[in-house]
Structure 1
Amino acid sequence: MPSDRNLPATTDQAMLLYVDSQFASPYAMSAFVALKEKGLSFDIEALDLGAGANQAPAYAALSLTRRVPTLVDGDFSLSESSAIAEYLDEVFPGPLLFPRHPRARARARQVQAWLRTDLGPLRQERSTEVVFYGPVSRPLSPAAFDASQKLIAVATKLLSHGGDHLFDQWSIADVDLALMLNRLILNGDEMSPRLARYAKAQWARPSVQHWVQQPRPAL
């Protein structure tokens, strides 16, 4: 929950979110959706990662990890999407991005960390270009197929309660999980109807659709 203790100073100036120029980064999308869900005013600066814009000295001075997304709030800048979401929840009022209950909040953070560090073959063979540009025809390799089955098994267990969200209410972890599922669903790969319905419902959120409908350059 928001607290006013030991918080960095903010300004009335709109925040600035650096994203990739293709609007295909799952992490930039997560930060974008977090800002939208909180109802915060922010501007967007798109970087051409293929041209190395994230390595430019000016950006390196802002982004500690030289990656997207990076959020600039006054004299404070922060990279890594999960850190950005936690910062927004702690500093700003509005709808919560993480569950209130400590155990549910810990589980949401676990889901985020897992999706960012595991399932490498699946993330490589079903990149987010599948989601935002269109499907590919090549089948999954054995390693990627195994990763897809692990994703399906974990998501099925997380949603075994039968609800519309991972927890009692929507959280930012729902967006991250739905995006990972959509790497398969939008490519026509194997997916259970239950998980497909879940991902479709998450995808329909206005904050998500605002990102999905961003104009993208040709590959």
Structure 2
Amino acid sequence: MHPEPLRLYVDARFVSPYALSAFVALCEKGLAFETVQVDLNNAAQHQAHYAGLSLTHRVPTLVQGDFALSESSAITEYLDESFPGQRLYPQAVQARAKARQVQAWLRSDLLPIRSERNTLVVFCGHQVAAPLSADAQRAADKLFKAALALLPDDREYLFGEWSIADVELAVMLNRLVLNGDPVPARLADYAAHQWQRPSVQQWLDLPRA
């Protein structure tokens, strides 16, 4: 039993891909939760109240009673291990490890893509006119090669059934797809399919300035 109410602290503009991941996880689990906005533009993440909750002074942070947890992958793993309902990770041990590998890779690599195609492209419809730099194109080619290897035979999901890693890979691909950059059709179709998931649509429907 988890009687304590859940609060998810997210960025005020709803453009953090990591906040999206935690938000989708809560929705997929069918959990009631309050969304609390943190104004990163005014450095609210460093103010005493939030800094007292978030170890990293970043979003998202999940709060449940006197328990607070930062970092989106930690949050999604906690939710999957603590609550019944839709699984967020594959059940098989090796597939689950592979899903976590995808999450860790997307957070630690491909910086030129994240820099040149920020999430205003993904969540606010902004487009960047400048073509990808040579570094970003190399990163894109690396992304495409890895994603195609993970998705053989036109499979719908990375590991046979939906997982939170599918949402996170779709975000990275959509940095390019939604900007109009060339992306292999197989991967563009995969990203579009993940984008139609109701939990993702709930995030996309949040009001943005």
Q: TM-score of the superposition, structure 2-length normalised? A: 0.97
CA RMSD, 1 decimal? 0.9
Write out aligned runs for 1:1-219 (5 A). Answer: 11-133=2-124, 134-217=126-209
Q: Which amino acid aligns with 1:18?
A: Y
Q: State the 4+ residue runs in structure 1 displaced beyond 4 angstroms.
A: none
Deviation string 1:137-168 (CA, Å, 9 cap, x unpaired) is 11111101111111111101000142100012
How big is each residue's C-alpha offset from its partner over 1:102-159, in whole Å with a ceiling of 9 and x where there is no partner? 1100000000000000000110000111111221111111101111111111101000
Aligned-partner Cα distance in 2 for 1:150–1:213: 31
1:12 CA displacement? 2.1
* Matched residue SS, 2:80: helix
Which blocks of at least 5 consecutive residues in structure 1 are unaligned? 1-9
- The 1:11–1:75 alpha-carbon spacing in structure 2 relative to 1, beyond 3 Å, is farther
Take 1:101 and 1:73, find their aligned partners in 2: how far apart are those partners?
28
Which secondary structure state, in structure 2, belongs to the residue aligned with residue 169 of structure 1? Answer: coil
Distance apart, 1:50 and its partner CA: 1.1
* 3-state DSSP of counterpart to 2:69: strand
Letter in 2 for 1:209: Q
Conserved in 2, the CA contact under 8 Å of 1:131 and 1:186? Answer: yes
**In the alignment, is the contact (CA less than 8 A) between 1:11 and 1:74 conserved in 2?**
no
Residue 11 of structure 1 deviates from its aligned partner by 4.5
Distance in 1, Cα, partners of 2:160 & 2:83: 21
Name the SS for the 2:103 alignment partner. helix
Q: How many residues align?
A: 208
Which residues of structure 2 form unaligned runs of 5+? none
Q: Is the 8 A contact 2:154 2:186 kept in 1?
A: no
